[in-house]
Amino acid sequence: MDRLHARYPFFVAAREAVDAAAVDLGELVAREDDPAVDRAVERVTAALTEHSTGEMRRDARTELLSYPVARVLVSLVDDHAVTGTYANAEAATAYERIVADLDTSSQLKSTSGSSLTVERLLSEFDLSDDVQPADGSAGTGGEDRYHVSVTAYLRLAGDRDEDAWRLPRRSLADGRVPVSRTELLTLLRGAVEERVAEGLPFEVPEAIGAHLTEEIAAIEEVLSDPPLPTEFDAARPELFPPCVTALLERARAGEEIPDHSWYTLCGFCATVGVSADELVTLVQPDDGVEERIRYQLDKLAGEDGVEYPPPSCSTVQDYGDCVNQDEVCAEISHPLSYYEQRLETSDN
Ligand code: SF4
């Protein structure tokens, strides 16, 4: 199965690849320990807890098939908020991948030889007629600019709260809205969300649902978890959980840190109120890493606070970053809960 399809399982071609492989979802979920089912549960639980879809598996089959199974799980849970959160998380993950794949010098190619390009994305979401490159903007050294039809713009940016996206703030010309390439990719994130949400929830045949009772129970357990603490009065690094302290030390030592670990570190710091300047002071990175820290914290910050909290302890464990556990770790399931507890029990 194709790596491009595994990264973008909502593409029409990915769905066709699943059809062509004649995969029977009923047989797949009935199989003991099929990795695609475990990955599907993670897709949904990570969406609920971290607003991402969790760590991608190396095996393209597992990754690709986990998507239709995750849609089955979301349909079985049948909760409007879960459906919305899931679609949003798939879109957030896709956005990260699109940005990375478009910027990579060796373009990601499918087995059919086609690469991920802006044009391909526009065609995928039937937006080729709605979005045109602005005359003379491409290849001039600055950021490419595009003109988006008002209808498509309103459809894809309509839910965005930020003032900058409101139509009166835009210089409309001939029924088209000028946008930068970065803004266009944000609009495409909206298109992904729309695609993922399409048709959810659907009626799941009893024969399939009967094999997923444990998986549904695992998702419902996550739903019943108390909300994460996200408001803190003080940022006190001496009370940070051992996993975050260890990541800070590794960053300070100039170690190469994988993306998901940076996400844990920056997500935690952003949520507890460490600013980009403060984190730079704590890590004392070289220029390249400083840029990365500032970019990541900027990305995590939403208008109403941090949009995406750091991952739970079980995910941090999966990443291999759960180290030096202490007695508080035995009582919590999230690094933010650890910090909350340490703040409550510290003397001042
Ligand atoms: S148990 Fe949780 S808080 Fe403690 S080190 Fe591991 S991931 Fe961090």
Q: Which residue has the higher pLDDT, 304 or 206?
A: 206
Evaluate whether residue 299 is within a structural domain. Answer: yes
- The pLDDT of residue 105: 46
Q: Are residues 245 and 341 in the same domain?
A: yes
Atom of ligand 1 nearest to the CA of 328: 4
Task: Tell me the three state secondary structure of residue 130.
Answer: coil
Q: Are residues 70 and 31 in the same domain?
A: yes
Number of H helices, E strands in the chain: 17, 5
Number of other CB atoms surrounding residue 293 within 10 Å: 21
325, 326, 334, 339: which to mutate for ligand 1, most atoms within 8 A of CB?
Answer: 325
Evaluate whether residue 269 is within a structural domain. Answer: yes
Question: Per residue in 315-342, pLDDT tens?
Answer: 888 788 999 999 999 988 889 999 999 9
pLDDT of residue 48 exceeding 90 = no
Average pLDDT in the 244-271 region?
90
Q: Is any atom of ligand 1 closer than 6 Å to the C-beta of 243?
A: yes
Q: Are residues 176 and 314 in the same domain?
A: no
Tell me the CA distances in angstroms from 71 to 68, 76, 100, 245, 343, one per residue in order. Answer: 5, 9, 25, 37, 39
Evaluate whether residue 206 is within a structural domain. Answer: yes
Q: Is any atom of ligand 1 closer than 6 Å to the C-beta of 180?
A: no
Q: What is the mean pLDDT of the chain?
A: 87
Q: Name the residue range of residue 303's domain.
A: 237-345
Q: Are residues 247 and 185 in the same domain?
A: no
Q: Are residues 103 and 21 in the same domain?
A: yes
Residue of 12, 33, 86 lying closest to 215 (CA atoms) = 33
Evaluate whether residue 214 is within a structural domain. Answer: yes
pLDDT of residue 75 exceeding 60 = yes
The confidence band for 64, taking pLDDT boundaries of 50, 70 and 90, is very high
- Name the range with the highest mean pLDDT among 5-9, 23-27, 107-111, 166-170: 5-9
Q: Is any atom of ligand 1 closer than 6 Å to the C-beta of 325?
A: yes
Q: Is any atom of ligand 1 closer than 6 Å to the C-beta of 336?
A: no
Q: Are residues 101 and 215 in the same domain?
A: yes
Q: Is any atom of ligand 1 closer than 6 Å to the C-beta of 276?
A: no
Question: Per residue in 89-143, pLDDT tens?
Answer: 999 899 989 988 886 644 555 555 567 899 999 999 999 999 999 876 554 456 7
- Name the range with the highest mean pLDDT among 100-109, 146-155, 287-296: 146-155
Q: Are residues 205 and 103 in the same domain?
A: yes
- The pLDDT of residue 265: 93
Q: Is any atom of ligand 1 closer than 6 Å to the C-beta of 241?
A: yes
Q: Are residues 341 and 279 in the same domain?
A: yes
Distance 224 CA to ligand 1 centre (A): 21
Average pLDDT in the 205-223 region?
93
Tell me the CA distances in angstroms from 238 to 303, 310, 321, 330, 342, one per residue in order. Answer: 28, 18, 18, 19, 10
Compute the CA torsion angle 32, 37, 41, 47 (nearest 10 deg): 170
Q: Are residues 133 and 79 in the same domain?
A: no
Evaluate whether residue 232 is within a structural domain. Answer: no
pLDDT of residue 196 exceeding 60 = yes
Tell me the CA distances in angstroms from 11 to 26, 113, 122, one per residue in order. Answer: 22, 16, 12
Average pLDDT in the 40-62 region?
90
Q: Whose CA is nearest to atom 6 of ligand 1?
A: 322
What DSSP assignment string belongs to 145-174?
Answer: EEEEEHHHHHHHHTT--SGGGSGGGS--BT
Q: Are residues 187 and 200 in the same domain?
A: no
Compute the CA torsion angle 30, 317, 313, 288 (nearest 10 deg): -120
Q: Whose CA is nearest to atom 1 of ligand 1?
A: 329
Evaluate whether residue 231 is within a structural domain. Answer: no
Q: Is any atom of ligand 1 closer than 6 Å to the C-beta of 310?
A: no
Q: Are residues 89 and 216 in the same domain?
A: yes
Distance 142 CA to ligand 1 centre (A): 43
Judge contact between 89 and 197, C-beta under 8 A.
no
- Edge-to-edge, what's the strand order for the sheet holding 176-180? 131-133, 145-149, 176-180
Domain count, the chain: 3
CA 51, CA 108: separation in Å to the nearest integer?
24
Atom of ligand 1 nearest to the CA of 335: 3
Distance 29 CA to ligand 1 centre (A): 32
Q: Whose CA is nearest to atom 3 of ligand 1?
A: 335
Q: Are residues 83 and 134 in the same domain?
A: no
Q: Whose CA is nearest to atom 8 of ligand 1?
A: 243
Residue of 243, 251, 255, 244 lying closest to 293 (CA atoms) = 251
Evaluate whether residue 156 is within a structural domain. Answer: yes
Distance 221 CA to ligand 1 centre (A): 20
- The pLDDT of residue 212: 96
263, 316, 318, 342: which to mutate for ligand 1, most atoms within 8 A of CB?
Answer: 316
- The pLDDT of residue 106: 46
Evaluate whether residue 229 is within a structural domain. Answer: no
CA 137, CA 183: separation in Å to the nearest integer?
15
Q: Is any atom of ligand 1 closer than 6 Å to the C-beta of 247?
A: no
Q: What token pair was written down for 336?
A: 């933010």
Distance 344 CA to ligand 1 centre (A): 17
